[in-house]
Each structure stands twice: as structure tokens, then as C-alpha cells.
Amino acid sequence: MLAQRISLLSESGTAAAREAAQDVVAAGHPIIDLATGEVITEPPSSVREGAIAAIKAGTNRYTSSIGLLPLRAAVAEKLSTETGISWNSEDIVITAGAKQGLLDAALAVLDPDDEAIIIRPCWPTFPSQVLLAGAKPIFVDARPPTYIPAIDAIRAAVTPRTKAMIINSPNNPTGAVYDRTTLQAIGDLAVNYQMWIISDECYSNFVFTGVPHESIVMAHPGARSRTILVNAFSKELAITGWRLGYFAAPPAIISAAKKLQSHTTSNANVIAQQAVLHHLQVGDGSYEREIHQRLSDARTTGLRILADLQDVSPPIADGSFFFYLDLSRLLSSLPDGATVRSTEDIARLILKEVAVGSVAGGTFGDANGLRLSFGVPPDLLESGLRRVVETLNSLKTRKAAA
Ligand code: PLP
């Protein structure tokens, strides 16, 4: 008999979509995988050189549970530059990816029966981690086309049990980038109702609106004492598999994370820590600018192709690297008797018929969405999106789709 908490979880839908795509490839059918939540490119040479140097030097020991001091200092400096707000090493915890930082945050602030507000569509790990902490996810729906949450809807979800609010801008899956007014209003709610803000900013390098990413602590400095700002190197440096992230938080959360990490992972992988430290010491920002430019170009190309969709509005895709399609109009215009009735059916169909991987919105708590990544190499993206457009545009005229 397993513990009850396991029954609260289902396997990550994004991981399941990735595995479904891999199964098709393993069966000998090449696919264009737009399901992936990664930028498909090589990591910077500085990161690789840092890792090799650390291995050659025989680096092998535990680090402090919250990470190497020079790395924490370098991350604090990076965050100070990016936010224009001063941080130092004591404010920083190094984690095994953003995922561990988010779990630390949930375990540190949520008691059983507490409530945590989550904006939906959402990355499925947010509610799963809230459940793991014994607390209750309370969803607030953000609606298309902007997917920016209405502040009144968030306020209406607050109860005496609300302990935290999880926000994610730039957003996975919707691509929404919260404007300053929204961030300020969220900050006000946190202060007025004494809630924690767990702010997942791991797509901060991927904003395409012409202005840099704005963190909640920049928009609302007064909310900093209630904010756990989570970020990672996974996406920015294309090192998802290396598992390195961080968070910045008030002292009580830092000391909670020291305890939590000392009893769970001990520390983030020391080679990855040394590698990213080396990058932060010698990197001049050119890799980050190049990856941003590549994604910006991919977004422009993709939006041009997606403009040919019928019965589906082009996505906004202000940030992250996902096109998130709202298929509600298309689904409601399908003929009676069509066998394709849901976004799950559509994701299955485009994988089977035109060999393109995607993630259906149900994974994110939204029956109408379909997520397509533009982190894949440009030629694959173009071909994959054209196939998706062709297939979606054909659905209305099919009698009984496969
Ligand atoms: N947060 C969001 C919103 C994500 O989309 C992801 C990965 O897809 C993560 C966190 C996980 O980041 P990491 O790989 O650094 O744990």
C-alpha cells in the first residue's frame, strides 16, 4: 500500500507528451517534436569548459546544502544587475533546477489544509507540489487571448486559508508576460492579505516585447519581503539536464531551504555548480543574446505561419518559447460526427498523421489549448508548424476524422 500523497499525483503531462513522441521515434518514425520544453541547441562553451576543468581538478565533494558561496555571490550579482535591486549571497539558494526551488518554497510556506492560488492554464508541477505539501491548489482561470489573470478574480479566490500565490511570468504554457500594473496589483494583494508570492521566472531571458523581463520585485519593491523568486539556468543556458537553478528569498526561507536541502539532495551537482560559476565569471552575455535572438526570429517566423490558421486566432506569445493556441472556436465548429472532439484528440492526430509532437491543454488544466514549442531548430519549426496548420485547417471539412 502506497502513501496517500502518491495518489494525488499524476505523471507530468509534459513529460508524458515527451515520452509519447520518443516512443514514436523509437518505433522508427522520425517526428518533429514541438512538445519539448527545451531550447534545442548546444550549451555555451564556457559552461562546458567549466565542467571539464572541474572534473580534471578532481572536484568531488559535497558543497554547502544551499550551494557554493562564490556561485551564490555570482548569482546575487547577476540578479542585482538584472533587477536593479541589490542582492547578496545570503539571499540566494542554489537548487537542482527551478523545480527544486519551487518545491522548497511550497514545503517551506504551506501547511496541510492551507490554500495556494495558482493561475490556470498552469505548468502541472505547481499544483502537484502544493498537493505534496498537503495543501490545496485553488485555481484562477486566465482567459485568452492575453491569459493575463484578472485581479478581481484572484482577490475573489483569497480566503483566510490562503497562504501563497504561485505566478509564472513569462508563462509556460501561455506565453503571457504580465504587465507592470498586473504585477503591482498582485504585489498589493500579497501585502494586504499577507500571502507569499512564489514567482517562477525561469523564462526571464525570453521576453519578446522589446523591453526586458520585469520581476514582481521590480514592479512592487514592497512585496520583496513576501516573495520567493525562483529562476534557473536550465532554459537560459540550454542545460535542462544539468539541473541547476536558484532562488532569492527572505532569510526565513533561506534557512528553511538549508534544512530541506540538507535532508533531501544535500546539494546541487557540484560539477554543474562549478560549470555555471565559470560561465558567470567569463561569459560576456553573448550566448544569452544569441539564444534570445534565435528564439525571437523563430517566433516571428512561427507567427507568420500560424496566421494562416482558420478558426484559430494567432497566439500572442510575448514570452517563454511557446505558441499556445486557443482551439475553442475550431472545436465548436467541427461537424457532428467528427471523431476529433478534444485537444487531446487533435494532439494525437497530428502526431499520428503528420508526425508532429505537441502538448494538449488538458495537461495545463485547460480543455481548449494546444502548446507548440518554438525552441526547436528553425527548419524543423517551419515544417512542423506548416503541417499543424494544414491539419487543423482540414478538420472542419473531414467527415469522420481518424
Ligand atoms: N518552471 C516552469 C514554468 C517550467 O516550464 C519548467 C520546465 O519546463 C520548470 C520550472 C523546471 O525548470 P528546471 O528544469 O530548472 O527544474
Number of H helices, E strands in the chain: 15, 12
* Residue limits of CATH 3.40.640.10 in the chain: 61-282
CA Rg value for the chain:
21
Q: What is the pLDDT of residue 27?
A: 76
Q: How far apart are CA 318 and CA 296, in angstroms?
A: 10
Query: How many Å lie between the centroid of ligand 1 and the Cα of residue 198?
Result: 13
Q: How far apart are CA 75 and CA 101, in angstroms?
A: 14
Q: How far apart are CA 187 and CA 137, in angstroms?
A: 19
Query: How many Å lie between the centroid of ligand 1 and the Cα of residue 51?
Result: 22
Of the candidates 29, 64, 68, the one whose C-alpha atom is nearest the C-alpha of residue 50 is 68
Q: So what's the architecture of 61-282 in CATH?
A: 3-Layer(aba) Sandwich (3.40)
CB 235, CB 206: distance < 8 Å? yes
Burial of 49 (0-12, 13-18, 19+ CB in 10 A): middle
Query: How many Å lie between the centroid of ligand 1 and the Cα of residue 102?
Result: 9
Query: How many Å lie between the centroid of ligand 1 and the Cα of residue 401?
Result: 35
Give residue-wise pLDDT tens across range 339-349.
899 999 999 99
Q: Does domain 4-42+286-394 have CATH number 3.90.1150.10?
A: yes
Of the candidates 230, 159, 146, the one whose C-alpha atom is nearest the C-alpha of residue 195 is 159
Query: How many Å lie between the centroid of ligand 1 and the Cα of residue 287?
Result: 20
12 lines ligand 1 (CB under 6 A): no
Q: What is the pLDDT of residue 361?
A: 96
- Tell me the residue type at 114: D
Helix segments in 30-169, DSSP class H: 45-56, 69-83, 97-109, 125-132, 151-157
Those residues of the chain that have pLDDT short of 50 are 401-402
* Residue limits of CATH 3.90.1150.10 in the chain: 4-42+286-394
232 lines ligand 1 (CB under 6 A): yes
Give residue-wise pLDDT tens across range 256-285.
999 999 999 999 999 999 999 999 999 999
Nearest ligand 1 atom to the CA of 14 is 8
Q: From 40, 99, 171, give the residue whose CB has the most ligand 1 atoms within 8 Å, as the site to mutate.
A: 99
| DSSP symbol at 148 | P
Q: Which pTM was predicted?
A: 0.95
